[in-house]
Structure 1
Amino acid sequence: MPESIENKTVFSLLEVSRSIQKTISERYQSLYWIKAEINKLNHYTHSGHCYPELVEKQNGKIVAEMRSILWKSDFNRINKQFIELLQEPLRDGITVLFQAGVSYDPMYGFSLRIVDIDPAFVLGELEKEKKESIRKLHDEGIFYQNKQLPIARLPKRLAIISVETSKGLSDFYQIIQRNPWGYRLETTLFPALLQGDKSIASIIRQLANIAERADGYDAVAIIRGGGGEVGLSSYNNYQLAKAICIFPLPVLTGIGHSTNETVSELVSFKNAITPSELADFLLQRFHDFAVPVDRLQERLVKAAQHHFDRENQKLQQFGQLLSWKSEGYLQRYQQLLTDFQQRVQRSSHQVINHQKITLQHLEKLVQLSDPKHLLQRGFSITRINGKAIKGTAALKIGDIIQTELLDGGISSTINDITDGK
């Protein structure tokens, strides 16, 4: 009961809480279907209970927030339904339609006790968002923009948006790096969140980083492991799909599922069902280029070999012809040389004989011109100062002259000079 203090009616906190509890229990006796986003599931494994944080957003801002309770037995049943229909468990960041009772507890406050969640509603919400994103992109005329970009004949410089620990990324790397043909791709990882609401901003941010250095890459690949429809919901987001549409490089997607393509996959240059298939696509590009080159190389080798064989045959034929002709020329010129040698020998004998006769005549002339022969015939040689005297013009009275005779010589002094004219 309330008490009176200084003419004031005062209620205790417990009384107020119980009054609220009574009012709510009387007012909200039924179960209600409510739509809200699970901001955080808060599943505690040791107890098995969940305490989801529920929010409603308008234009990206939270306009309502409330705590809730999902007991272990209800959670296990609902989670099983999600896995069967959506191929993934109940998780954070999804908008759900749930059935709950409204309650108030004096100790724990106001809450919603969730007893059921409709997994089919989640699929409907995803499909609704997908159709709206597609409509906007078509209205803006950019839906096919990325698909119309040219791609390098050999897209070897690849920027990858993924999580380093992703199994899909690991599968992609193994196929690329262990290809039996030795094709080499240069990959740069740009880490990003790939699931949940935060993945949208994370992927867009990395796309912006890559766009700043677009000259360094041939294409961008968004790679993640497998997942159900709910896990892929962010890829239906209009902002993310638009970022892919207007991106300056071809965007390749391999996000690991085989049904119902997301908007991001629909607008990308190339969508592969799995990261492994995306790796095969890239290797096939190299293969499509390498096979014709290899065949052309084989044709060139065969053509060159054929040409060499033909020219070698010509050389052999020419060598044989040259051998035959050179042998004939050698025999002919050898005969000419022999004839020339014989003529030279004959001519040299004649020249030598002639020269011998000439030398004999010269020898006789030299012998005849020897002064001794003149001296034997009674002539003498007169000299002055060692020089033979040819006339009287070089003489004068008193000069001493020497006269050479056959058996000796005499010296005389000139006493008189007679003119022979």
Structure 2
Amino acid sequence: MEPLTLLQLNQRIARLIVTPDTQNVWVTAELSDVAVRSGHCYMELLQKDPATGRTLAKARAAIWASAFPAIRSGFYAATGQDFVTGLKVMVRLSVSMHAVYGMSLVINAVNPDYTMGDLIRRRNEMIARLKSEGIFDMNRSLVPAEPTLRVAVISAPGAAGFGDFMNQLSASPLRLRFVTRLFPAIMQGERTARSVMEALATVEREQTDWDIVVIIRGGGATSDLLGFEDYDLAATVARFPLPVMVGIGHERDVTVLDYVACIRVKTPTAAAEWLLAKGKECIDRLDSLGRDIALAVSGYLGGCKEQLGAIEGRLPALPAAMLARASSRADRLALALQQLSSRATAPHVARIDRLTLALRQIASGITTPRRVNLEKYGATLAAASSATLSARRNRIEALAQLLDALSPEATLRRGYSITRVGGHAVTDPSQVVPGDVLHTTLAGGTVTSIVE
């Protein structure tokens, strides 16, 4: 048997594999080693065992430059991401056998719905697992401290998103004093999840120094965010003891972290705006409390001023009232003294009357003379009258002295004075202004003066 040339063998293989059954067929696979060269997109298609991750099948594939721009733009418009390693796809391809380059699979269409469905399916599986383990709502239920000023930032050093975040905080007219520190991490690629978890572990060791953790990354292709679609990273965020804010990508971008974090914002700039808004809320509450306190103090002082005004209005009439009360009391004491003296001397007067009658009878010879010690009766009567009158005189003098000590005139004689302006007594220097005429009442008269 005559041997075949290599060209003849490849041609025979081409006739065997390039058949209607291998043309324009839909195939599901995972992309690997994606590369774009000279307008063509080269890749490998893989099939892996779901349980072990072992590769079950592998084949080279390509999208030629004639079709690649249209396929690429359509896929990006539908999914928001480019063709990258690790992406699950459904492609329509044809088997091609080239005599020089060998067999390859030529892709002529891609179904973006399959890719989106696979991402959503994996995310839903992670969310269901987090819920079943009871950790899904742990970080979501935390309440950020107020004000939220101590911020631990997890981002890539020098990234535009981190710069936008810091510029937004520093440019605010509120002048809030934020304390920030960057905990660097890789924010794209296969090492993203592990790097972010390491940064979170560092923050956790210093958790008493921080109020909140902010994980931020600027925009880009949705495929750049696949590193955040990781169960271990999501579980770490869900269990984290401090509130976590996630601002990754654009408004349309969503990762599993957005479901478990305490706060989700659309961009790094929005994360800074959230912190500034919380700070402004605290400032507004302090302003409101300050106004309430000022209003309460103003009302209290107003009441005190009214009381002082009423007291000031009554002050000029107080001396006259005190004199009237003292005079009335003196009158009452004098009347009581008179009544008391009358009751005390009445028995002695009656005795004197009886003695006088007896003397007259003796003198007139009406009664039988007997020995009457007139000197003894006279001395006794004189002593009793003198003692009674002396005691009453002393009591009256004591009451008079007390009345004099309580009078306003006595206060003035002790060196005090009363100064009035406009008829009102002055109790504080703030009540007078330059040019006011003061009238000062002294014990010996009144002095008029002008305030300079």
Task: State the TM-score bracket (shorter-chain normalisation).
Answer: 0.5 to 0.7
Q: CA contact under 8 A between 1:126 and 1:233: conserved in structure 2?
A: no
- Output one character per residue of 1:248-302: Cα deviation in whole Å (capped at 9) or x when no partner: 2111112244458433111111112333332222222212211121222234445
Amino acid at match of 1:155: T
* Aligned counterpart for 2:291 among listed residues 256, 278, 298: 298
Contact 2:48–2:56 under 8 Å retained in 1: yes
**Equivalent residue runs for 1:63-142 within 5 Å:** 63-105=56-98, 107-142=100-135
Cα separation, 2, equivalents of 1:88 and 1:20: 37
- The answer to whether the 8 A contact 2:217-2:248 is kept is yes
Q: Distance in 2 between matches of 1:32 and 1:177?
A: 57
- CA drift of 1:170 comes to 3.5
Alignment counterpart, residue 277 of structure 1, candidates 266, 270, 273: 270
User: Which of 434, 437, 441 does residue 328 from structure 1 map onto?
Assistant: 441
Q: 1:32 aligns with which of 21, 25, 34?
A: 25
1:266 aligns with 2:379: no
Q: How many residues align?
A: 325
Change (3 A) 1:93 1:328: same
Identity of aligned residues (%): 30
Contact 1:55–1:65, Cα closer than 8 Å, also in 2: yes
Q: Deviations over 1:341-393 (max 9, x none)?
A: xxxxxxxxxxxxxxxxxxxxxxxxxxxxxxxxxxxxxxxxxxxxxxxxxxxxx
When residues 93 and 193 of structure 1 are mapped into structure 2, their CA distance, relative to the original with a 3 A threshold, is farther
Q: 160-169 vs 72-81, which deviates more?
A: 160-169
- How far residue 157 of structure 1 moved from its aligned partner, in angstroms, is 1.6
Gaps of 5+ in 1: 4-10, 335-421
CA distance in 1, matches of 2:174, 2:94: 63
Q: 2: distance between equivalents of 1:210 and 1:2?
A: 75
Q: Which residue of 1 aligns with 2:46?
A: 55
Once the two structures are superposed, the pairs formed by residues 305-344 of structure 1 within 5 Å of their partners are 320=420, 321=425, 327-329=440-442, 331=444
SS in 2 for 1:52: strand
Asked if residue 220 in structure 1 is aligned to residue 213 in structure 2, the reply is yes
How far did 1:80 drift? Answer: 1.6
**Stretch deviating more after TM superposition (139-148 or 306-315):** 306-315
- Aligned equivalents of 1:275 and 1:33: distance in 2? 40
2:441 partner amino acid: G
Structure (1/2) with the larger helix percentage: 2
Q: 1:128 to 1:319 in 2, by over 3 A?
A: farther
Within 1, Cα distance between the matches of 2:27 and 2:94? 10
Aligned to 2:142: 149
Shift of 1:78: 0.6
Task: Give the aligned residue type for 1:267.
Answer: V
Question: What SS does structure 1 have at the residue aligned with 2:42?
Answer: coil
Structure 2: runs of 5 or more not aligned = 313-417, 428-436, 448-452
CA distance in 2, matches of 1:106, 1:28: 21
CA distance in 2 between partners of 1:198 and 1:92 (Å): 14
**Residues 132, 328 of structure 1: alpha-carbon distance in 2 compared, 3 angstrom cutoff:** same
Q: Report if aligned partners of 1:42, 1:53 keep a CA contact under 8 Å in 2.
A: no
Deviation at 1:73, TM superposition (A): 1.8
**Correspondence list, 1:329-408, <5 A:** 329=442, 331=444
Name the CA distance, whole Å, in 2 between partners of 1:81 and 1:325: 96
Shift in CA distance, 218/310, structure 1 to aligned 2, threshold 3 Å: same
Give TM-score scaled by structure 2 length: 0.61
In structure 1, the residue matched to 2:162 is 169
Distance 1:272 1:329 in 2: 79
**For residues 32 and 192 of structure 1, what CA distance do their matches in structure 2 show?**
42
Separation in 2 of the partners of 1:22 and 1:61?
32
The equivalent of 2:174 in structure 1 is 181
Aligned partners of 2:28, 2:158: CA distance in 1, in Å?
Answer: 34
Q: CA deviation at 1:231?
A: 4.7
Contact 1:39 1:93 in 2 (8 A): yes
Q: Specify whether residues 105 and 201 from structure 1 end up closer, same or farther in structure 2 by C-alpha distance, changes over 3 A only.
A: farther
Contact 1:204–1:243 (CA<8 Å) still a contact in 2? yes
Q: Which residue of 1 aligns with 2:36?
A: 43
Relative to structure 1, the CA distance from residue 67 to residue 198 in structure 2 (aligned partners, 3 Å threshold; closer, same or farther) is farther
What is the TM-score with the length of structure 1 in the denominator? 0.65
Question: Which amino acid in structure 2 is aligned with residue 328 of structure 1?
Answer: T
In the alignment, the residues of structure 2 paired with residue 205 and residue 116 of structure 1 have an alpha-carbon distance, to the nearest angstrom, of: 40
Structure with greater Cα Rg: 1
Q: How does 1:230-245 map to 2 (within 5 A)?
A: 230-245=223-238
Question: Which SS does the other structure have where 2:127 is aligned?
Answer: helix
1:40 & 1:249 partners in 2: Cα distance? Answer: 39
Aligned residue type for 1:82: F
